[in-house]
Every structure is written in C-alpha cells, then in structure tokens.
Structure 1
Amino acid sequence: MTKRRYTLGQRAATQEETRRRIVEATVHLHETLGPRATTISAVAERAKVQRLTVYRHFADENELFKACTSHWFASHPIPEPSAWAMETGLARVQRALGQLYSYYRRTEAMWTVTFRDEADVPALEEPMRRVRSFLDGIRDDLLDHLAPDISAIDGMRVTLGSAVQFPTWQSLARQGPDDAAIAGLVCDWLRGVSSALPPAPHR
C-alpha cells in the first residue's frame, strides 16, 4: 500500500510539472508571438510534449488561455488602490498613475500583443473584460478622492478613464516623458477640466 501511494504521488507530481511547463510555454509564446499566432503545436514543441498531452491537460484553447492568464497575473498583478490609500486628491492621482505606468512599462511586451490580437482571439474577451472592469475601479477610486464639482465630473471621469488605459500610457511614453512626467500631465489635464482643483503636486 505504501508503494502504491508513493507511485500515485510521483505520477501526480509529474502531471503537475507537465501542466506547469505547458502553461509557461503558452505564456512565453503569447508574449513573444502574440496570442493570435500561438498554436497548440507550438506550445507542445516548446513544452517538449506531444499535442495530445496538451489536450489531456486542457480540453480546448479557452481552458489553456484561462490557465495562462491566471499564471501571468499571479506573477504580474496590476497595482491596487491599497498601494496609494494614504494619498488624497491630485497626490493620489500622481501616485496611482505613477505605479500603474511603471507596471505597464515592465509588462509592455505582453500588453502590446494582447491589445493587438484581442479582436481576433475570442478567448481574450473575458480576461480583457475583467481587466477593463478593474481599471474602471481605479478610475472611480481616483475620481471619488478628487471630489469634483458636478459641472466637472463628466470631464474628469473621461480624463481618468483614458489615463488608466495601457494604450494611453504607451502612446505618451513613446514620445519620451518618463512615467512620473506622464502622471503629472494627467494632473495638469484634470486641473484644466476643473479650476477648483489645487495646484498639481510637486514632481
């Protein structure tokens, strides 16, 4: 009985290792080739397994994408409002966007191909919906702590809603400014929308 348990334990560990290799191979191919160009055959080749082995662990590409997404976000979590909980007003915006933009800079390769391929890969629809919902939460958090007057609230929501998006950061970053400077620009835009805001925080 002891030997039987040991054999089953070894088998489970081997299966888990194989599954991990498949997921990590998928993550690598998504980041380098893009989700659209990542095939099961390419995943199997990089993971050094047979295509059938991939399908034994993942019934279809949606399952594989789900595992890949979970694995990647576990290693690259998007910054959360708790990271800037002690700040208020424009200082909160500066800190939050500075951290978010630093994250985008570190993970730019993956986000670039994900946005590029999103329309062509149905399996991306659900994870990207969750990402956008999360970013909407950051937008709303920052808006709440700015406490805008009613006449400015729509313009500030649109400004912040654009500011938290990866494509916005990437477009501005490619023109040269660093992440703190880009966050400062957003603060300046918000002050343009609402004259009731104090001067932008020092940066």
Structure 2
Amino acid sequence: MRKYELKARAESQRQTRDRIAKEAAELHEEKGVANTTVAEIARRAGVTRLTVYNHFASLSELLPACAAHYERLHPTPDFGSVLAEVDADERVRGVLTRLYAWYRETEPMYGKLLSDRASVPELDRFVEENADRMLAELADDLVAGFALRGRRAERLRALIRLALDFWTWRRLTREGLADQAAADLMAGAVSTGAA
C-alpha cells in the first residue's frame, strides 16, 4: 500500500508542477515575464505562493519548465531537410521561410520575452543559452554552405544573423511584407552579400 501512496503523491506533485508551468507560460505570453508575479501564477494554478516556490525556488528554475510547456505547443521548426539542400541560397530561403512562419505563430510570446530580457537578468541568461545559441548555430550552418573564409565569411555571418533575428522579421512584416515575401527579401540580401 505504501508504494502506491508514494506513486500517487509523486504523480500529484508532477501535475501541480505542470499546472504551475502552464499558467506561468500563459501569463508570460499575455503580460511578459517582467509583469508576471508569483501571486498571479499561484492564483491561476490554484495553489499557494509557497507551493509555487516549493516547486520553483527561483525564476531561473521556472523558465525552463515554462519553455518546455510552450515548446510542446509550438515546437521549434525542424530545419534538417532544408539544411540538407545542396544549394546554399535555397538553404537560407528554406530556413527563413520556416523560421518566419514560426515567428508569426509565436509572436505574442517572443515579442514580450525579447523585450523583457533587458530588464530581467534570469530571462536574459535563459534566452542567451537557448534561443541565441540556436540562432548562432543556425547562422554557422548557413555560412558554411557558402564556403567563404576570413572577412567575407564574417560579414556574411553578420548578415545572416540579421536575417534570422526576430526583430528583422517583425520590422519587415510591419512594413507590409507577408512572411514569404520577407523570407525571399532577406534570402536575396544574403545571396547578394555572398557574391
């Protein structure tokens, strides 16, 4: 009987932890990390503030759980097939097409997260270790396809990083470009920069 009780308790703890992460992620998407309080998370999750702290002692512990919940709903695009393209220009276009569509889907969350990172050190570290790292690796993969070296490779990498940036996508779409048109424009700029 004791083993069953321990198993039931562990499952209840997991469900509570998941509920807290879910509600925190939803609040982060609605209000941003900087404007979300532990009291709001607790109220929405139907627990006490102490329960939130028992599961997540700090924001640094809460952010990965929120990200995991959000990632299940909005998975990062799979770039594998487009990175396997032989033509470097088509690789860039394919990556930007998928990335910009994902930015469109996740704009309410990422716009707030990226705005808040300047005022929330834990968030800044989390974004740096995850999203920034992913985009840097993606840029490296794309630059490698052009087989450039030295200063030309550095300049192309800077241009590709600009093309991959959320704020670039947002500026282009606010100028009236559809996602595909924005991806085509930036892919063309990268192609010209690589020539």
Cα-Cα RMSD: 1.8
Q: Which amino acid aligns with 1:187?
A: A
Q: Which residue of 2 aligns with 1:155?
A: 155
Deviation of residue 122 (structure 1)?
1.5
Give the equivalent residue in structure 1 for 2:106: 107
Once the two structures are superposed, the pairs formed by residues 82-161 of structure 1 within 5 Å of their partners are 82-87=80-85, 88-130=87-129, 131-148=131-148, 152-161=152-161
- Alignment check: 8 A CA contact 2:96 2:187 kept: no
- Per-residue Cα deviation, 1:104-123 (whole angstroms, up to 9, x for no partner): 11100110000111111121
**Which residue of the partner structure matches residue 198 of structure 1?**
none
For residue 19 of structure 1, what is the aligned residue in structure 2?
Answer: 17
The gaps in structure 1 that reach 5 residues or longer are: 196-203
The structure with the larger Rg is 1
- How many residue pairs match? The answer is 193
Q: Provide closer, same or farther for how the CA distance between residues 49 and 189 of structure 1 changes in structure 2, counting only shifts above 3 A.
A: same
Partner of 1:199: none
Contact 2:139 2:160 in 1 (8 A): yes
Shift of 1:74: 4.2
- Whole-angstrom CA distance in 2 between matches of 1:71 and 1:138: 23
Change (3 A) 1:191 1:10: closer
Change (3 A) 1:77 1:126: farther
TM norm structure 1:
0.87
Paired with 2:171 and 2:17, the residues of 1 have a C-alpha distance of 37
CA distance change for structure 1 residues 149 and 7 in 2, over 3 Å: closer, same or farther?
closer
